[in-house]
Amino acid sequence: MSPDAELVAAPLIVHLIHRLDVGGLENGLINLINHLPPERYRHAIVCLRDYTDYHLRIQRPGVEIISINKREGKDWGHYLRLFHTLRRLQPLLIHTRNLSGIEGQLLAAVAGVRLRVHGEHGRDMDDLYGVSRKYRWLRKLLRPLIGHFIAVSKDLEAWLIGTIGARPQHVTHICNGVDSLQFHPRLGPPAAVGPPGFLCEDAFVIGSVGRMAEVKDHLSLVQAFILLIAEHALPRDRLRLLIVGDGPCRHACQELLGQAGMEELAWLPGQRDDIPQLMRAMDVFVQPSLAEGMSNTILEAMATGLPVVATAVGGNPDLVYSGWTGTLVPARAPAMLADALNDYYRLPALAGSHGQRGRRRVLDEYSLNAMADAYLAVYDALAAPPAT
């Protein structure tokens, strides 16, 4: 059988997500498709909303991407469009992700999709701690339709079992993986980034990467940066802030920096395609989220050899060993965040040792191949014929 024929014969997995755009969940999905054996499964991505050029990162041929074009609010017609899409595709398995996709489990069951997987990757502002009665009720109602759950952090795994009532044998904790060849420590001085004159020769760059949405709380990072200069008396001519990403909170961060007279010390370039290069210009990485599943950007920063300051929420403590590979601080605590950053500025050897240990941890535990193998094991176990 020719390779093309093998691909056509391979069973289809439909991945149902909200929207295919820049984000940790979406990055993880593309990494998964790129690293699963192409002869084992075909893939289609069904987006409840739409998709952007981010899909060009997919390296596997033949991945169909479909937009359901769900309108804001209640769009009853999107259920019918999703049902007809699933009937046309006739996948062996559907893999939904997060709250926005879980209703697709019911449509998949009605459409005759026999194998159904649901993944939890993190929470949004409207239910930071997974305690909403409405959302818990929805998950519990749909739980019998789901053949297997995947949680990207131990926190989410415990919540699925203890709060949602999933059976432990039906839940698998699978860590995200990172490309440690693309993300690697810098060799020599950092490349020039930002507007002319942004980086001086001995600049100390505090960096972050992510959607600039309220749940990511980049405002706390900006407040901490201001405190470093105003109260910790770190020199303005050395300190720099680099926040990569776009979203509704970007303007508020820029305004706060302007009010403090520090806009020239910061660069908020919006969405970028050169994240590995920009990370190699940083001296410390910050993840200030209010809630998190398992952060791809923390893993990328660790692979880059950066010490990580992160909030002690969700899956962050699984990744950052405070005092060993980085520092954990409470959420919404700019003063404590500033204290942690001050330590790394004043103790360069500490920053270097934490970054080296983080890099070693990524190489040992968070490879893309290990992640793909774990997902493949779940898919294969569900697809295996029943024992006689």
**CATH value at residue 281:** 3.40.50.2000
Residue 187 lies in a domain: no
| Residue 1 confidence (pLDDT) | 44
Is the domain of 21 the same as that of 93?
Answer: yes
Q: Do 247 and 322 fall into the same domain?
A: yes
Residues 51, 165 within the same domain: yes
> What angle (nearest 5°) sits at the alpha carbon of residue 273, between those of residues 269 and 279?
70
Same domain, residue pair 100 and 215: no
Residue 336 and residue 313: Cα distance in Å, rounded?
15
In a domain, residue 173? The reply is yes
Q: Is residue 196 part of a domain?
A: no
Q: What is the pLDDT along the chain (388 residues), one digit of tens a residue?
A: 445 555 568 999 999 999 999 888 999 999 999 999 999 999 999 999 999 999 999 999 999 999 999 998 889 999 999 999 999 999 999 999 999 999 999 999 999 999 999 999 988 888 888 889 999 999 999 999 999 999 999 999 999 999 999 999 999 999 999 999 999 999 887 778 899 889 888 899 999 999 999 999 999 999 999 999 999 999 999 999 999 999 999 999 999 999 999 999 999 999 998 999 999 999 999 999 999 989 999 999 999 999 999 999 999 999 999 999 999 999 999 999 999 999 999 999 999 999 999 999 999 999 999 999 999 999 999 999 876 6
CA distance linking residue 377 with residue 368, whole number of Å: 14
**185 falls within a domain:** no
Residue 194 covered by a domain: no
Number of domains in the chain: 2
Residues 12 and 49 in one domain: yes
Say if residue 348 is in the same domain as residue 373.
no
Question: Is residue 182 in a domain?
Answer: no
Give yes or no: residues 303 and 328 share one domain.
Answer: yes
In this structure, the answer to whether residues 290 and 257 fall within a common structural domain is yes
pLDDT at position 132, please? 92
Nearest to residue 225, comparing CAs of 340, 349, 348? Answer: 340
Ordered alpha helix ranges (H), the chain: 3-9, 24-35, 77-89, 98-102, 104-110, 133-142, 154-159, 218-230, 250-259, 275-279, 296-303, 316-319, 334-346, 348-365, 368-383
Euclidean distance between CA atoms 251 and 178, whole angstroms: 30
**Whole-number pLDDT of residue 200:** 85
Dihedral angle, C-alpha 207, 210, 215, 216, nearest 10 °: -10
Examine the domain organization and report whether 335 and 373 are in the same domain.
no
Task: Indicate if 78 and 140 belong to the same structural domain.
Answer: yes
The predicted pLDDT at position 54 comes to: 92
Q: Is-contact 44 63, C-beta < 8 A?
A: yes
Domain that holds residue 377: 3-177+367-383
Based on the domain organization, do 85 and 167 belong to the same domain?
yes
Pick from 194, 193, 209, 191: nearest CA to 302: 209
Specify whether 268 is located in the same domain as 331.
yes
